[in-house]
Amino acid sequence: MGSITDLITTLGQNARTATKVLRNATTQQKNNAINNIASQIDKNRKDILSANRKDLNQGKNNELSIALLDRLMLNNDRLNSIIESIKQIIDLPDLIGEITDLKFRPSGIQVGKMRVPLGVIGIIYESRPNVTIDAAVLCLKSGNGAILRGGSEAIHSNFELYKCIKQGLINADLSPLSVQFINTTDRKAITELVKAKDYVDAIIPRGGKGLVEIISDNAKMPVIKHLHGICHTYIDKDADTRKAINIAFNGKTHRYGLCNTTETLLVHASAVGRVMPELIAEFVAKGVELRGCEQTKKLSKQIKKATDKDWDTEYLDAILSIRIVNSMSDAIDHIEKHSSGHTEAIVSENYTSIRRFIREVDSSSVMVNASTSFADGFEYGLGAEIGISTDKFHVRGPVGLEGLTSQKYIILGDGHIRS
């Protein structure tokens, strides 16, 4: 235990030292480092993909699901997407030092707020190696130090990507300790990291519900939780047929292993005849296992009976639960009971129904006539995301640059004293 404790202490001390410099780095310095990271990824594609193949082979040997293997996989297209997301972050305005709400008070002083980094952020994540880059560049741009701890299933990929980060920092004359990577797969490192309150200001977990709950229960510092994604798509009685079919199908099948994937489809009884025959055929042809309520089961022999557990399950797989509802109220009640607060979508042409849905559904993202798969920092114009917070404090939804900052009050005077 001592060696792991010493490791985390050293990483924490390094991060604190580096962060003091990083928070004063110019926008140009930070952008240069981020651009260098993109160049290093492009330059080292062969090594990154070779390392990723090791992880994939190990994952297959460990019998990871197809969806988790998909989350783990890198290829040239995905590396291109990572590089593109980095370029977007470079183009985003630097929020650090921004002063807003500056107002004169009756005493003559001016009171405003300045945007500042959170400090040192620990990011604990599973499966998706792109998180290594997303977390690093978002923390860099927002002036935060980062300590990264990826999952054992992606250890080779993450280490190669971290080498790109380290070299990018060095090439920009920024401390390579600004972003550090925990290169042990020993789970004691997580236990020690979440206790290191003297060095770490916030923890961001990205992974399964069990991991997030354990970290939330044990962390000695604030946790920005990315709990899980039980996302719903509701097809209203006034839905356009073609939009409904396309949106529901894409929401489930775009990528099974992501938290923004539709896990439950709710269909108004009045729309069943228009949309379900074609949707069922498309899902079955795609290989999606369908589980439904008693009414849904009557539509096809291909549909299995859904259990109570199904409505509360994030499948991350080619499985979809379907419930037929008799009203929007029933749909909203179902969402309120079973949703994880991540993302819900309504398909409707009724303006009144749409307004009610977006007002009453209490999730971090609510879609109107759009697939739940759009719940993503890249799609929202954040450049990338460090996670999707299902909390309400201090940030909610995709966590980009602003979510990694706080504000402090600044008071401007000119010899003012209080009478």
Confidence (pLDDT) at 2: 63
The confidence band for 67, taking pLDDT boundaries of 50, 70 and 90, is confident
Question: What is the Cα–Cα distance from 278 to 9, expressed in whole angstroms?
Answer: 58
Q: Report whether pLDDT(308) > 80.
A: yes
Name the pTM for this structure.
Answer: 0.85
Contact call for residues 355 and 332 (beta carbons, < 8 A): no
Give me the chain's average pLDDT, please. 95
pLDDT, tens digit, for every residue of 343-360? 999 999 999 999 999 999
CA 183 vs. chain centroid, Å, equals 22
Which H or E run contains 262?
A: strand 262-268
Q: Give the Cα separation of 315 and 265 in Å (integer).
A: 13
Q: What angle do CA 205, 262, 343 make, to 5 degrees?
A: 55
Confidence of residue 1 (pLDDT cuts 50, 70, 90): very low
Model confidence pLDDT, tens digit, residues 112-142: 999 999 999 999 998 789 999 999 999 999 9
User: What domains does the chain contain, in order, with CATH numbers?
Assistant: 2-226+399-412 (3.40.605.10), 231-374 (3.40.309.10)
| Alpha carbon 142 to its chain's center | 17
Taking the CB of residue 101, how many other CB atoms lie within 10 A of it? 10
Gap between the Cα atoms of 269 and 284, Å rounded: 21
Written as one string, the DSSP assignment of 294-343 is HHHHTT-TTEEEPPGGGGG----SSEEEEEEESSHHHHHHHHHHH--SSE
221-246 pLDDT, tens digit each: 999 987 789 999 999 999 999 999 99
3-state helix, strand, coil in the chain (%, to 5): 45, 20, 35
